[in-house]
Structure 1
Amino acid sequence: MALSGTFAFCIVAGFIFSNALANFILLITRQSAPLVYRPRNDMERIAALGLVTFTGPAVLFDNALKSYAETQRPFQLCFSLGIVFVWSFLIGVVVVRTLQLAGLI
């Protein structure tokens, strides 16, 4: 696979993983759409930090689109999407490497 194909695959894999994890958390906590973390003690804060690390692109993308609908500022949307792409790429690299080490791809 070409380098650009691998780059795109990692972005998509990271974004899909982020959305799947965010939606799974919404499902088990029975929250509505914006994912909100409200830790009450230190252990929950550590768990929330781990969740934010992997669900961040999905939450940021959702918030960026909602903000753009209200303010109509394209620079703000493009900047947020750039962060989402880089963050999704980093998560995608972790996901793809983990799947490769497990022998699944």
Structure 2
Amino acid sequence: MTTKFIDMKNFSLTPYGRYPIDGTDNGETFRKQFLEPAFRDPEVEKVIVNLDSVQEGYEYGSSFLEESFGGLVRSSGIAADIVLNKLEIRTAFEDYIQEINEYIKRAAA
């Protein structure tokens, strides 16, 4: 079994929006290109996402975070308990971790 490390800077320094219509660095694209493959890979037991490698001072919007992480459950059909058990968010901002966990739980309801 392996760990998949996803560093946000490899996607965008300023991720923004929910859908492609909002711009190229949106939550749906991040989910489909980075998160889904990691969560669907049977060899990956832990997915670590580093949020803090974006542009200094950047703040994530709720639409990006909800679509990226809540969308794993709602749109991609991955069970919330699998996402919550495999996912580790690395950030200096505890609020992001709580927010992401809440989006995942709400998507399952």
Q: Same fold (TM over 0.5)?
A: no
Q: TM-score, normalised to structure 2's length?
A: 0.28
The structure with higher relative contact order (CA 8 Å, sep 6+) is 1
Larger Rg: 1
**Structure richer in helix, relative to its length:** 1
